[in-house]
Amino acid sequence: MAAGTKTTKSTTKSTTKQSTTTVHTLANLKPVNISAKSTAALTDVNILTLDEESILTYTLTIKNGDGKTLDLLDYWSKVKTANGTKYSATLMTKDKDKKKLSAGSSTTLTFVAKVGKNTKISDLVFQVIKWDFNQAGYESLKGQFKIPASYLTSTPANQAKTLKVFDTPIKTKVNQVAAFASGDYNYVSIGLNLQNVGYKIFEDPKVKFVVKTANGASYPLTADPTSTDYKIQPQDNKTLNLMTQIPKSIKLNKMEIQLVQDDETSKLSLPIATMQLPNVANKSLAVEANTDKYISLGNGKIAVRINGATMLQSFDEHNLSMHLVLRNTSGTTVKLPKYQFDLQTSDGYRLPIDSQVMENITLQPLEEKTIMLNATIPANVSAADPQLFMNLPPAEDAKDNFSYPVGVFAMPEIQSMQNMIGQKQFVQTTQGLVGFTLSSLQRLPWSDGDLVAARITIYNPSYKTLLLPELTGQLKVDQAKLTSDSKLITTQGASLLGGNMSTDVYVVSKVPSYLSFSQIQVSLMQKIGENNTSEWMQFSHVGAAPELTTIASGEIYSIDTEGRKEGIRVLRSFVYNGAGSDLIYTDLEVTNKEDHQVDLSQFAGSYQASGGQTYKASVSQIETSAGPEEKSVVTLWAKIPKKINTNEMKLIIGEGITDNKLTAVKEVPTGYINAATLELGINGPNKRGNLSDLDLFPYTLTIKNVKATLSGSTSVNLNFEYNQKRDMDYNIGEFGHKYLFEVVDSTGRTFEKEFSPETDLKLMNGGSAGFNFEDAVFQDRKIGSYKLNIYDVFQGQKLLLGTQGFNYYYKSVD
């Protein structure tokens, strides 16, 4: 307001005139008198637009006000356009037999005509004629109807319409209309209530439904099969749930729903009612997270909800796993349809989900079943706030292949699955709550590549015993499935899991040793039927597999496999030096930590050099059971190139597996699990400067009173006494070592003899043994010296244990 301006306050009276818009309908058309007291009224008009023409139906309601029967065969109706184009009209089949109308009663006659595609109702003139043979053309025009363009011929929104379907009066009303966007379409959902206002049961009339948009296009509606039992008792009602998909380019205002019925005579689908729909805006129809959706199935009902969701993100896609819980809430057994599933992303994409898990599912009363659904979302598609569509399969005779969504579910909070080692998860199953942990993930060297082994611990947190389903395993590296060699290893034969107990399963697969990858995914698959599986639980780890646990030299590696708890310690490790290659060798002490006798694990593993090179180990161990705290020796060895530096060499060892179980005694492992890296502290046996206390673990040998006798001939006889003992704290398997006695003559010639512990040389003190050797060099010799070397011989390689020099004895032979 400008400065210095004076304001004068005044009061102005204003009068608001409210006006009500008058809606004219067919009821405003004046009936036509067809006799002194009888009339014909135009009470319904419908047009169904087709590709090349439109189908017109219109209904005349005849009231007989005369005191005698009215002959309906005397009357007919014609339809034409205002400019004179005439169309042939016929009666619907249901009205063909209507010939007489009793005094004081009324009836309807519905006529059918094919009209031009773009014909409007306001273009038409509907005539009522009486056959009169005294008139030219034998027709007497009793009256006609011309519907003004301003008239409303369809039932207004939010109002009911009563129509006769096969002579049963049915009151129809649209209860609700909703729409939601999905992909390139808007899904329009309509709840249509049908009330039987007649006096006999209303059964399936084979009525179809379409949505007619403002541009005249028609879209067929699909009914939820659970709501299409049309048997409606008198004065009862039922709501049909209908849905269709309409391209997003079509506006959703000024839509109508049309009821369409097939006519036997004309062989046409005829519109029998048209009802306006209120304008509708898009909104979500999704069930809120952690909320049940109740779905009727015949006489039964199920409750459906998403119980949890996890997201596994990778470079080019995201894997969404959803736990869908199906619960039979009724007192009758229900067989579920083969529901189909789609995932709708927040930016409108519809992604299909494998629905084989729904094959032949039957739920007993109050039974609950959890299934895992998996969707793959491309990396360039938003993974935020997706929705799950649960659809009925399309009917076999459906032309539009439309799948009716019986449920749309908002997703609960999605848990990330980036690094899950050690994280405990819980899933509600039909058996109860089950816990899962990815306990370890290992990459292990093997003969024809590497092994990836995932250890999964399954917990039963309740007090009652669980029956685990039949499981398989699947591994992916960087989204690539390792299906051909993936195996599920179980450590217990029974599938029962007691209260507050746990069990381990292992998913193992082979990968090329040269392959580098940055993500590992592990899935437990539940078998459903003969050929189908459903994902039960999924885990992920980003990055390479973690480094194996390293056990320092002399420390104990504890294996806690249920029923086979063992402690492992390196006893000794050294290298046999050969001519072309060397042999690395290790003795392990394995102690049974169970409180009962068990078959020990059958071990497998590889030696690893500091440069990363690996060499598969051969293994020898006992083939009998071990008692509690009993110690056994497991021997491993491998041939290695001479150029390998063995100072920092380590042993990777684990429990052997064969097929889908731990390797049994005398079987050959095809892989291994539960591995660790053992530091070896390579240090060979002490080389003695004499022949006392020679160490060939678990044996100790002392050689004494050695006498090699010359006789003047080419033959020499060597005899000795010995003491041999064995450490009885250890069980050993097949002992592959022998003593090699080597005589090195002063001339450089050598002579050898092998002795086996406990076979050739007994466990005793004061034992004696000997051997002969001969050479021409000894002919006529009476004196000389030699050196006696004793070696440990193993796999063709030898290691010096002790050496001592001696003189020959001479004894003439007469």
CA distance 571 to 577: 20
The full DSSP string for 114-157 is: EE-TT--GGGEEEEEEEE-TTSGGGEEEEEEEE--TTSB-SBPT
Angle value at C-alpha 786, between 781 and 790, nearest 5 degrees: 140
Side-by-side strand order, sheet with 256-263: 218-220, 207-212, 256-263, 268-276
User: Whole-model pTM?
Assistant: 0.65
Contact 574, 551 (CB under 8 A): no
* Confidence tier at 107 by pLDDT (50, 70, 90): very high
Phi, psi of 24 (to 5 degrees): -95, 130
Is the pLDDT at 483 greater than 80? The verdict is no
Contact 686, 646 (CB under 8 A): no
H or E element that contains 22 = none
Where does CATH 2.60.40.1240 sit in the chain? 293-412
The 3 state secondary structure assigned to 339-402 is CEEEEECCCCCEEEECCHHHCCCEECCCCEEEEEEEEEEECCCCCCCCEEEEECCCCCCCCCCC
* Token couple for 123: 């273009």
CA distance 244 to 257: 11
CA distance 458 to 116: 71
Residue 17: what residue type?
Answer: K
CB-based burial of residue 7 (10 Å sphere; 0-12 exposed, 13-18 middle, 19+ buried)?
exposed
Where does CATH 2.60.40.1470 sit in the chain? 161-276
Residue 85: what residue type?
Answer: T
The pLDDT tens digits for 697-709 are 999 999 999 999 9
- Kindly report the CATH number that applies to the domain delimited by 293-412: 2.60.40.1240
Pick the CATH number of 161-276 from 2.60.40.1470, 3.40.50.670, 3.40.50.2000, 3.40.50.300: 2.60.40.1470
CA distance 224 to 353: 21
> What's the chain's Rg over C-alpha atoms?
47
* Confidence tier at 13 by pLDDT (50, 70, 90): very low
Residue 256: what residue type?
Answer: E
Any idea what DSSP says for residue 18?
A: -
pLDDT of residue 23: 72
The pLDDT tens digits for 66-86 are 989 999 999 999 999 988 899
CA proximity to 682, closest of 733, 619, 638, 621: 638
Average pLDDT, the chain: 87
Under the phi-then-psi rule, with left for phi > 0, alpha for psi from -120 to 50, and beta for the rest, what region is 527?
Answer: beta
CA proximity to 387, closest of 315, 306, 295: 306
Class for the domain spanning 26-146: mainly beta
Q: Taking residues 737-754, report their average pLDDT.
A: 96
Tell me the pairing of strands 124-131 and 293-297: unpaired
pLDDT of residue 11: 39
Among the ranges given (5-14, 430-439, 466-475, 518-527), the one the predictor scored with the smallest mean pLDDT: 5-14
Contact 159, 205 (CB under 8 A): no
CA distance 60 to 75: 11
Q: Measured between alpha carbons, how far is residue 309 from residues 378, 412, 538 in Å?
A: 17, 7, 11
CA distance 195 to 160: 10
Q: Does domain 550-679 have CATH number 2.60.40?
A: yes
CA distance 91 to 695: 115
Q: Would you mind telling me the total number of residues written for the chain in this entry? A: 814
Residue labelled with tokens 């729409």: 179
CA distance 370 to 374: 13
Tell me the pairing of strands 671-679 and 550-551: parallel
Is the pLDDT at 15 greater than 80? The verdict is no
The pLDDT tens digits for 395-417 are 666 566 677 888 899 888 887 77
Is the pLDDT at 8 greater than 60? The verdict is no
Is the pLDDT at 125 greater than 70? The verdict is yes
Is the pLDDT at 571 greater than 90? The verdict is yes
CA distance 240 to 351: 28
CA distance 382 to 344: 10
The pLDDT tens digits for 758-780 are 999 999 999 999 999 999 999 98
- Kindly report the CATH number that applies to the domain delimited by 424-542: 2.60.40
* Confidence tier at 138 by pLDDT (50, 70, 90): confident
* Token couple for 642: 């001479």
* Confidence tier at 226 by pLDDT (50, 70, 90): low
Residues 6+ apart with CB under 8 A from 12: none
694-810: CATH topology: Immunoglobulin-like (2.60.40)
Contact 90, 114 (CB under 8 A): no
